[in-house]
């Protein structure tokens, strides 16, 4: 049988359609990048490593950013927007902290072609947190959940128990304000080892209230160095409706050293923490549309192929 050029062309187009129809994951990440400032952003190796990490995520929370003039984040966005074809943007909190020498920002970097920023809110109850959560609301038609709220926390280690407990107060405020209880908490909570013990959990409402699900397990190690083995960085979601839209067992630590075959010193040039992540299920509309389009395409392809046989 000799294949006609037009038949080969159709087969190629059909293959491209199958690739294009593939549903991709929607990934949310959190990464503590200590003292991410212009000096660190000017380190080409560190910036490349950070770009590889952030580019895996549809939304990535960066913590411990020290960038009041925005130049470090601008450098990262410039590199990201040349990296993989997605269009990245960011939203940042003001500088937060009790000491002029330790002011930090929360920064969310997100893919504009995959998700829309629909709201932002700075929690401002005094004496509650050293770095009050900068809460954001996102909408995406790529996910089953559609619209959800992200609450970041980089806790003060000595106050970790109290600050994690007060996240419940943040939940009550923002869920009422936006009439949406699809809330995810994420960041470096220092929720392990000596900072938060098993006994301490009795005083933390995100543990005692069964409406909250902790997606990063207590035995995980979110730290890079061999001297520590602690689940400091966490992801927590509220409610069964949100939990059902998350891919089972997708909440995990992303070990950069193993996955990218990097030496530990390369990883440590960026952070002494590994990022944590979770995957949201793709929207049912996309999942239903792909098989339907394939079925509609088959009869046309068969009719075209038969005369060539």
Is pLDDT at 273 greater than 80 in this prediction? yes
Q: What is the pLDDT of residue 300?
A: 47
pLDDT digits (tens, 9 = 90+) for 178-198: 999 999 999 999 999 999 999
Query: pLDDT-derived band of residue 283, with 50, 70 and 90 as boundaries?
Result: confident
Structure tokens at 42: 């000017």
* Higher-confidence position of 189 and 10: 189
pLDDT above 70 covers a percentage of the chain that reads 84
User: pLDDT confidence of 208, banded at 50, 70, 90?
Assistant: very high
Would you say residue 294 has pLDDT above 50?
no
Average pLDDT (132-151) is: 96
Give the pLDDT band of residue 22 (cuts 50, 70, 90). very low
- In CATH, the number for domain 25-300 is 3.60.10.10
Is residue 274 predicted with pLDDT exceeding 50?
yes
Work out the number of other CB atoms within 10 angstroms of the CB of residue 295: 9
Please report the pLDDT score of residue 284 as a whole number: 61
pLDDT higher than 50, residue 175: yes
Distance, CA of 175 to CA of 188 (rounded, Å): 22
What is the structure's pLDDT at 24? Answer: 77
Distance CA 159, CA 114 (A): 36
Tell me what pLDDT residue 288 has. Answer: 46
**Helix crossing, 71-80 with 44-54: angle to 10°?**
60
Mean pLDDT of 33-62: 97
What pLDDT is stored for residue 125 in this prediction?
A: 86
Q: Record the tokens describing residue 86, joined without a space.
A: 């997605």
Residue 28: predicted pLDDT: 98
Assess whether pLDDT exceeds 80 at residue 14.
Answer: no
The pLDDT value given to residue 296:
46
Asked if 150 and 184 touch (Cβ cutoff 8 Å), the reply is: yes
Rounded to 5°, the CA angle 50-214-229 comes to 60
pLDDT score of 11 more than 60: no
Tell me if 308 sits within 8 A of 4, measured CB to CB: yes
Q: Give this prediction's pTM.
A: 0.86
pLDDT at 15: 44
Average pLDDT over the chain, rounded to an integer = 88
The pLDDT of residue 303 is 52
pLDDT tens digit string along 214-271?
999 999 999 999 999 999 999 999 999 999 999 999 999 999 999 999 999 999 999 9
* Lowest-pLDDT choice from 217-226, 229-238, 275-284, 300-309: 300-309
Q: What is the mean pLDDT of residues 54-72?
A: 98
User: For residues 69 and 92, what is the distance between their CA atoms, to the nearest angstrom?
Assistant: 11
- pLDDT value, residue 23: 53
- In DSSP notation, 95-127 reads PB-SSTTS-BEEEEEEETTT-EEEEEEE---TT
């Amino acid at each position: 049988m000799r294949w006609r050029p037009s038949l080969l062309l159709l087969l190629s187009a059909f293959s491209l359609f199958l690739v294009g129809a593939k549903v991709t994951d929607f990934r949310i990440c959190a990464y503590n990048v200590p003292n991410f400032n212009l000096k660190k952003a000017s380190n080409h190796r560190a910036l490349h490593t950070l770009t590889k990490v952030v580019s895996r995520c549809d939304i990535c929370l960066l913590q411990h950013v020290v960038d009041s003039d925005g130049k470090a984040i601008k450098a990262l966005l410039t590199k990201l927007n040349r990296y993989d074809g997605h269009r990245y943007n960011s939203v940042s909190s003001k500088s937060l902290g009790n000491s002029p020498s330790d002011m930090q920002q929360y920064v969310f970097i997100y893919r504009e072609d995959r998700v829309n920023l629909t709201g932002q809110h700075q929690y401002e109850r005094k004496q509650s947190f050293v770095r009050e959560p900068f809460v954001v609301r996102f909408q995406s038609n790529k996910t089953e959940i559609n619209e959800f709220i992200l609450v970041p926390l980089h806790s003060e280690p000595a106050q970790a128990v109290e600050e994690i407990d007060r996240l419940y107060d943040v939940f009550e405020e923002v869920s009422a304000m936006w009439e949406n209880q699809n809330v995810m908490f994420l960041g470096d909570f220092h929720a392990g080892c000596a900072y938060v013990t098993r006994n301490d959990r009795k005083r933390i409402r995100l543990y005692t209230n069964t409406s909250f699900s902790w997606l990063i397990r207590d035995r995980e190690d979110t730290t890079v160095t061999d001297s520590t083995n602690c689940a400091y960085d966490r992801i927590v979601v509220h409610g069964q409706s949100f939990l059902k839209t998350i891919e089972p067992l997708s909440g995990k630590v992303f070990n950069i050293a193993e996955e990218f075959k990097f030496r530990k010193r390369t990883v440590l040039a960026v952070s002494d923490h590994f990022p944590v992540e979770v995957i949201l299920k793709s929207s049912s509309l996309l999942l239903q549309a792909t098989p339907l389009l394939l079925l509609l395409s088959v009869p046309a392809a068969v009719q075209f192929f038969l005369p060539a046989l």
